[in-house]
Structure 1
Amino acid sequence: MPDEQKELFLLDANIIIHAHDYYYHMERVPEFWRWLEFHAGNGSICMPLEIIDEIKGGTKAQHANWAKSRDIRDLLVLQEEFDVDLLNRVLDGGYGPDLDEIELEKVGKDPFLIAYGLRDPVNRVVVSNEIPKPSARRKNRKVPDVCADMGVRCCNVYELLRSLDFRTNWRDSI
């Protein structure tokens, strides 16, 4: 019997930003950040390089410093080159053909994230906190809507927490 491949959760930058800013501040819930590191280390969670570079913050932004520190970056960054053909499929099919430079800037790096998910739509899940807005067009499309159109599974942070069973005593169960 062949080995069954496990799910790989591809995190959008907003997962890190929102976790720190709203509900899992690094100083209040350090277990969450160790849990992310654990799952990054075991290959269940990662971020494409293009997406991790979207995490912004000032010199005191702990989440940005955490994500960009060498040790975490080595664990968290997906070790793959992006596929230009998949990226173009996402841009054309998910946002619209012939996007101009202003539209491409507005779309940002989201198409990279979705293209990495499209590489293996059975085993990869894009994780984003964006709220679906099916009526949005072109540059204003949301990650969950584009994922749905492209056949890529997508979930939010709470579904990720359920799937990988986050709890503050998560170490007791490994």
Structure 2
Amino acid sequence: MGSRTSYLMDSNSFIAPFRNYYAMGHFPSYWGWLKAIIVQPDSRVKVPLAVYEELTLGGDDLSKWTQGNLQGITYDSDTIEVWAKFGEIINYVHNSGCYYGAGKINWDQIGKADPLLIAIAAVKGWQIVTFEQSSGNVSPKNPTKKEPKIPDVARQFGVRCVNLYEVETAFALRV
């Protein structure tokens, strides 16, 4: 990871720590660190508007934290290049032969951040921060009914995925 690399945060990079590792009441320093790397001027860690919107739907403490700490600093990706790439990604999911049934339809939902996240990263040359894991050997010979996974589709578009721990290391900030 180069020092100039920029990162796009997936929703589960907030949700997994919130639910499994860093309860807000017990680890406020973690949440302070996360906020600090996102809100700093010229931050290389971006939260797409679509991810912000997904996170604020829950009505839980994470939703409140997101609204209180990330409102107004999200990355808006409304460009022709991003939406053209978004179309390519949706076409890939529908026509690659790797996904069928409900799995590919899931990515057609309004407000689904995953394809937009990949489109932004592909256009900008950024990396995606996600805890999502590859489905493994998904191919036209081995299709799945399950929802496409960000790492699998991102790979098709030359986008690298990293987890939050790799970002922590890149920024060498202590929690």
* Structure 1 position 145 matched with structure 2 position 152: yes
Further displaced range: 105-114 or 137-146 = 137-146
Shift of 1:129: 0.9
* Structure 1 position 118 matched with structure 2 position 116: no
Structure 1 pair 104–51 and aligned structure 2 pair: CA distance change class (3 A): farther
Q: TM-score, normalised by structure 2?
A: 0.78
Partner of 1:48: 48
* Structure 1 position 167 matched with structure 2 position 174: yes
Match of 1:156 among 158, 163, 169: 163
Partner of 1:172: none
Q: Measure, in 2, the Cα distance between the counterparts of 1:166 and 1:13.
A: 21
Partner of 2:32: 34
* Structure 1: gaps of 5 or more residues: 169-174
The number of aligned residues is 158
Match of 1:81 among 71, 74, 78: 78
Shift of 1:97: 3.1
SS at match of 1:140: coil
Question: Retained in 2: the 8 A contact 1:96–1:138?
Answer: no
The one-letter code sitting in structure 1 at the alignment partner of 2:87 is N
Shift of 1:138: 7.2
Question: Retained in 2: the 8 A contact 1:106–1:139?
Answer: no
Partner of 1:131: 133
Structure 1 pair 51–100 and aligned structure 2 pair: CA distance change class (3 A): farther
Structure 1 pair 138–36 and aligned structure 2 pair: CA distance change class (3 A): same
Partner of 2:63: 64
Partner of 1:109: 113
Further displaced range: 157-166 or 16-25 = 157-166
Give % identity: 23
Shift of 1:41: 2.0
Q: Measure, in 1, the Cα distance between the counterparts of 2:122 and 2:89.
A: 8
Structure 1 pair 79–141 and aligned structure 2 pair: CA distance change class (3 A): closer
Shift of 1:139: 6.0
Q: Measure, in 2, the Cα distance between the counterparts of 1:126 and 1:64.
A: 21
* Structure 2: gaps of 5 or more residues: none
Q: Measure, in 2, the Cα distance between the counterparts of 1:89 and 1:22.
A: 34
Question: Retained in 2: the 8 A contact 1:32–1:166?
Answer: no
Q: Measure, in 1, the Cα distance between the counterparts of 2:46 and 2:170.
A: 15
Q: Measure, in 1, the Cα distance between the counterparts of 2:12 and 2:152.
A: 16
CA deviation digits over 1:148-171, x for unaligned, max 9?
Answer: 111011111222222222422xxx
Shift of 1:63: 1.0
